[in-house]
Amino acid sequence: MTTHPTAITPEPDALTKAPAKRADFQTSDDKDMLRAARESTKDLGEAKASIYWTDMLVSTAIGYGGIATAILTDSLAVMIAAGLIAALALYRSLMFIHELTHIHRDALPGFRLAWNLLVGIPMLTPSFMYEGVHVIHHKRTQYGTIEDPEYLPLALMKPWSLPLFVIVALLAPVALIIRTGILVPLGALIPPLRKLVWERASSLSINPDFRRKPPTGDFAKRVRWQEIGASLWAITLIASTFVIGWRPLLIALAILSLTAVLNQLRTLVAHLWENEGDPMTVTAQFLDSVNVPPPGVVAEIWAPVGLRYHALHHLMPSMPYHDLPEAHRRLKRDLGSGSTYEGANHPGMMALVGRIARSTMISR
């Protein structure tokens, strides 16, 4: 998942300049790797309800417990510790929105509704903000192009774009309250505003040129009830400041800002962002994406719910997050050392940030 930093715009010709490693992006598909991805994982792929429900519910309970502790304590040290725990736990809970866009609607009865009621609506990011949007990022002819809502050529932009890309996420919780508690209700009365909010501020995207199409059919019905629920909650939060003061809301917003920054940092290193905007082969898309596999354990914190295997996810988008580690082990074993598959495996966040930062410093 990504936030929507509309303040960051690529250089006018950023999408037409050649990337540092153009040859990588014009590579032919590695048919052996694609075949192995299918054949080595035939017995995987079933979403296990016990894992999904337990992981989501425990993470959510810890997160909200951390927020409550941070609000109620008089100790600054306890507040900081509880806030950090809450941010990490709610970050993990929030990342299930990514799973909701890929698992079959009938795979986990009640899970989508429960997630929206417990996480999506309270955090003002109901599942409609990702559903119907993230799937474009996985289309073979649209990944990495100007039509991809989740792609910016960050490695081709100016060096200052990277810190701005991360820092702007601090404002995400406040922006969501304004959007959901003020703009959406006003949009119900002002059609042009409603159209603007839907097109420009109703998706978790990073491409400022992306315009969302109107919802239709059953999806429009889901959007309606989720939007109403989120708006009522946002209005309640705003109204609460007149009853209990600003302190509880400000503490909660600070915790959620940390969650947003963590997600933005993960987004920053989810891809290499070196594509010039042309359609890419499946293998090229895979190599432009990032795995941060074990033995390191830190990646499980900043890229939870299977997102440390982001490149592998682009090979097998419907694979449940709990099966990705086993799928990775099998492909690594079957394809061997020096394979194309190894080309998407990276050692950690700092190495990836360094690579992208160095790329922005190359004169183009």
Measured in degrees and rounded to the nearest 5, phi and psi for residue 345 equal -90, 130
CA angle 353, 354, 358 (to 5 degrees): 120
Q: Do the Cβ atoms of 160 and 127 come closer than 8 Å?
A: no
C-alpha to C-alpha distance for 13 and 300, rounded to whole angstroms: 36
C-alpha to C-alpha distance for 227 and 173, rounded to whole angstroms: 16
Which H/E stretch holds residue 3? none
pLDDT of residue 26: 54
What secondary structure letter does DSSP report for 145?
S
* CA distance to 32, 41, 120, 122, 324, per residue, from 107 (Å): 30, 18, 19, 24, 17
pLDDT of residue 9: 34
- Residue carrying structure tokens 């190894």: 342
pLDDT of residue 232: 97
Residues whose CB falls within 8 Å of the CB of residue 7, separated by 6 or more in sequence, listed in order:
164, 168
Instruction: Note every long-range contact of 351-357, with CB atoms under 8 Å and residues 24 or more positions apart, other chains counting.
Output: 352/268, 352/269, 352/272, 352/290, 352/292, 353/162, 353/268, 353/269, 355/272, 356/154, 356/155, 356/162, 356/268, 356/269, 356/272, 356/273, 357/159, 357/162
pLDDT of residue 25: 52
- Could you report the per-residue pLDDT of 90-145, keeping only the tens digit for each? 999 999 999 999 988 888 999 999 999 999 999 999 999 999 899 999 988 889 88
Residues of the chain with pLDDT under 70: 1-27, 363-364
The answer, yes or no, to whether the previous bond of 325 is cis (omega within 30 of 0) is no
Give the predicted TM-score (pTM) of the model. 0.89
* CA distance to 26, 48, 328, per residue, from 126 (Å): 37, 22, 30
Q: Do the Cβ atoms of 252 and 86 come closer than 8 Å?
A: no
